[in-house]
Chains A and B, each alone.
Chain A
Amino acid sequence: MGKYQLDLVVRSVRTISSDTFLLELTMPGTGARLPEVQPGQFAEFLVRGSETTFLRRPISIHDVDYQNNAIYFLIRKAGAGTAKMSELKTGDTINVILPLGNGFDYATTMPKHPLLVGGGVGVAPLLLLGKAMKSAGIRPEFLFGGRGKDNLLRIDEYGKSGKVHVTTEDGSCGQKGFVTDHTVLKEESFDCIYSCGPTPMMKAVASYASEKGIPCQVSLEHKMACGIGACLCCVEDTKDGNVCVCKEGPVFNTEKLLWQN
């Protein structure tokens, strides 16, 4: 699959919560179609006008609508670069490299009843994954966690692809606790787990999956420079040695990782 460097046009910027926004981009001009992307792949954004932002910002692909030629990114204002991106206006252009990395695999294994576990803005790539699974006749369910209600993002959108279970640390929504405390894990039987979110959450999810003997894929977020496997900055130590999260990942089977140590 080819990679493209494109000047995409901002179609809308929508506030989702106190620190997250939804960026909708489209192809410039008429007739040009968005390249095909896989759930779990990401894009590298060139941010202009932020003095402290030198490198591109890697952001996972949240959703894509080929009919309307639109691609969506759910972004948390984590620093100066993403804060600057939140100031984009309809009609602005932004230079983007995409699609990057290897996404989640479901097409070769075709699980029947997978669980998609997300935390915070880590839920972003799970929307496209859930949609793709539903289209493929798979019956996904979602399990999302956040500190509080404000950290649960676009729950209704996910609900269109499958049942959504929720935990919050402060108990303001859903069950109180962490995702791994949710009763659905005892009540239902899942045959594959996909996860994206804070590393401690993904490690807890991976450990649960390993105990139950369920295959588990996680999407890692490492600091990146090139995004295309050239600089070797974003490595994760795996059973195959140091590999680039941007090129060999960002999605890994947890059995490849050295997390248990």
Chain B
Amino acid sequence: MAKLNIEIGALQLANPVMTASGTFGYGTEYQDFIDLSKLGAAIVKGTTIKPREGNPYPRMAETPSGMLNAVGLQNKGAEYFVRNIYPTVRTLGCPAIVNVSGSTIEDYIAAAEIIDTLHDIPAIELNISCPNVKQGGMAFGVKPESAEAVVSAVRKVYHKTLIVKLSPNVTDITEIARAAEHAGADAVSLITTLLGMAIDAETRKPVLSTVTGGLSGPAVKPIALRMVWQTAKAVNIPIIGIGGICSATDAIEFLLAGATAVEIGTANFIDPSVTMKVIDGINDYLDRHGFKSVTDIIGGLIS
């Protein structure tokens, strides 16, 4: 039995397997299928300062080895979260991390300040892929300057572990990762979904109400793996690998590429108990290869 525990900033996790925001609800949706207390952490649904209805249906399209979504951050807002969801989320049995999104820097600050007061939320994951409504809708996360601005602003008001989630829809993800590190992020998680599109040839219409949406699932794994490997060489803070992880082998590949931990997203829809299988499989791999701790394989790629 190898040691599976890892550290990210001040976070001490029992194992490196977390759930990706937006794919795991608030955790309780999965309690009939898995023992939530066995997760490294649960990253729960994206929260914004004000409630959001999200985009109109249809907001999902199945694609080869993956899916597109355009949910649009549907959530009931930070105050509702504190009143109605936090009391449950704090009792999941594993650390619960809140994903925070916003349309302006002020929105991010306000939401982060509220979550900062919640004793049993040890970290936030900042989604900087949202459009900045004050700057023509360009996403915060696509330029190092705007990424640094929003991360710095949140860092000033948020006192616990700050994870910054990076978009792959950029020319050079390592520049954005460096900007986040420079602005005080404790870790970066990558990748969010890749911008994609689906068309129904029969009706000659887009499948999604928003025309474009975010691609996830095994289809994106090679891209995510490459970006984690590149980012690991560019920053000194821990990396959380995300993108199409469906098995322990997938997770181990991300660890070898330089990730300290992983998030499992879309695979939860196919197998609601996949996270447990990944944790057990990582343990088996470490035993089989004679590693005493999961930290022994982080960045262990032989090239």
Asked if B69 CB lies within 8 Å of chain A CBs, one says yes
In the complex, besides A53-B62, A54-B64, A55-B67, 9 extra interface pairs with C-beta distance below 8 angstroms are A4-B32, A5-B271, A52-B64, A56-B269, A222-B57, A224-B60, A231-B60, A233-B69, A242-B74
The answer to whether A54 touches B66 (Cβ under 8 A) is yes
Distance to closest chain B CB from A48 (angstroms): 11
Q: How far is the CA of A225 from the CA of B265 in the complex (A)?
A: 12
**A35-57 toward B: CB 8 Å interface, digit per residue (1/0)?**
00000000000100001111110
* Smallest CB gap from B51: residue in A: A241
The answer to whether A235 touches B59 (Cβ under 8 A) is yes
* Smallest CB gap from A51: residue in B: B64
Q: How far is the CA of A224 from the CA of B61 in the complex (A)?
A: 9
Asked if B33 CB lies within 8 Å of chain A CBs, one says yes
Asked if B184 CB lies within 8 Å of chain A CBs, one says no
A56, A225, A241: the one within 8 Å of B53 (CB) = A241
Task: Show 28 A/B contacts (Cβ-Cβ < 8 Å), sorted by A.
Answer: A2-B32, A3-B33, A46-B270, A51-B64, A55-B67, A97-B272, A224-B60, A225-B60, A225-B67, A225-B69, A225-B269, A226-B29, A228-B30, A229-B25, A230-B24, A230-B268, A230-B269, A231-B22, A231-B69, A232-B22, A233-B59, A233-B69, A233-B71, A234-B57, A235-B74, A241-B53, A242-B53, A242-B54
Query: Considering the complex, which residues of chain A in the window 221-249 have a beta carbon less than 8 Å from any beta carbon of chain B?
Result: 222-237, 241-242, 247
The answer to whether B32 touches A230 (Cβ under 8 A) is no
Q: How far is the CA of A225 from the CA of B68 in the complex (A)?
A: 10
Distance to closest chain A CB from B258 (angstroms): 28
The answer to whether B270 touches A228 (Cβ under 8 A) is no
Asked if B135 CB lies within 8 Å of chain A CBs, one says no
B24, B63, B217, B270: the one within 8 Å of A56 (CB) = B270
The answer to whether B269 touches A5 (Cβ under 8 A) is no
Query: Considering the complex, which residues of chain A in the window 1-53 have a beta carbon less than 8 Å from any beta carbon of chain B?
Result: 2-5, 46, 51-53
> B66 to chain A: which residues have CB within 8 Å?
54
Contacts A5-B272, A56-B269, A223-B58; A232 near B67 (Cβ below 8 A): no
Contacts A56-B269, A231-B22; A236 near B29 (Cβ below 8 A): no
Query: Considering the complex, which residues of chain A in the window 175-217 have a beta carbon less than 8 Å from any beta carbon of chain B?
Result: none
Asked if B56 CB lies within 8 Å of chain A CBs, one says yes
> B203 to chain A: which residues have CB within 8 Å?
none
Asked if B169 CB lies within 8 Å of chain A CBs, one says no
> A235 to chain B: which residues have CB within 8 Å?
54, 57, 59, 74
The answer to whether B60 touches A233 (Cβ under 8 A) is yes
How many residues from A make CB contacts under 8 Å with B?
Answer: 32
> B217 to chain A: which residues have CB within 8 Å?
54
Q: How far is the CA of A5 from the CA of B30 in the complex (A)?
A: 11
* Smallest CB gap from A224: residue in B: B60
Asked if B65 CB lies within 8 Å of chain A CBs, one says yes
Q: Which residues of A contact B (CB under 8 A)?
A: 2-5, 46, 51-56, 95, 97, 222-237, 241-242, 247
Interface class of chain B by DSSP = loop
Between B29, B217, B268, B271, the greatest number of chain A beta carbons within 10 A of the residue's beta carbon is seen for B29
Asked if B5 CB lies within 8 Å of chain A CBs, one says no
The answer to whether B74 touches A232 (Cβ under 8 A) is yes
Closest 6 CB pairs of A and B: A233-B60, A230-B25, A230-B29, A3-B32, A226-B269, A225-B269
> B268 to chain A: which residues have CB within 8 Å?
226, 230
Number of A-B contacts (CB under 8 A): 93
Query: Considering the complex, which residues of chain B in the window 38-78 have a beta carbon less than 8 Å from any beta carbon of chain A?
Result: 53-54, 56-67, 69, 71, 74
The answer to whether A54 touches B65 (Cβ under 8 A) is yes
> B273 to chain A: which residues have CB within 8 Å?
5
Between A46, A51, A95, A241, the greatest number of chain B beta carbons within 10 A of the residue's beta carbon is seen for A241
Q: How far is the CA of A194 from the CA of B83 in the complex (A)?
A: 37
Contacts A51-B64, A242-B74; A231 near B269 (Cβ below 8 A): yes
* Smallest CB gap from A2: residue in B: B32
A54, A234, A236: the one within 8 Å of B62 (CB) = A54
Asked if B23 CB lies within 8 Å of chain A CBs, one says yes
Between A223, A227, A237, the greatest number of chain B beta carbons within 10 A of the residue's beta carbon is seen for A223
Between A224, A242, A247, the greatest number of chain B beta carbons within 10 A of the residue's beta carbon is seen for A242
Q: How far is the CA of A222 from the CA of B60 in the complex (A)?
A: 10
> B57 to chain A: which residues have CB within 8 Å?
222, 234-237, 242
The answer to whether A231 touches B23 (Cβ under 8 A) is yes
> B61 to chain A: which residues have CB within 8 Å?
223
Q: How far is the CA of A235 from the CA of B61 in the complex (A)?
A: 13
Distance to closest chain A CB from B67 (angstroms): 6
* Smallest CB gap from A247: residue in B: B29
Q: How far is the CA of A169 from the CA of B58 in the complex (A)?
A: 29
Query: Considering the complex, which residues of chain B in the window 256-298 have a beta carbon less than 8 Å from any beta carbon of chain A?
Result: 266, 268-273
Q: How far is the CA of A65 from the CA of B64 in the complex (A)?
A: 37
> A227 to chain B: which residues have CB within 8 Å?
269
> A52 to chain B: which residues have CB within 8 Å?
62, 64
The answer to whether B62 touches A55 (Cβ under 8 A) is yes
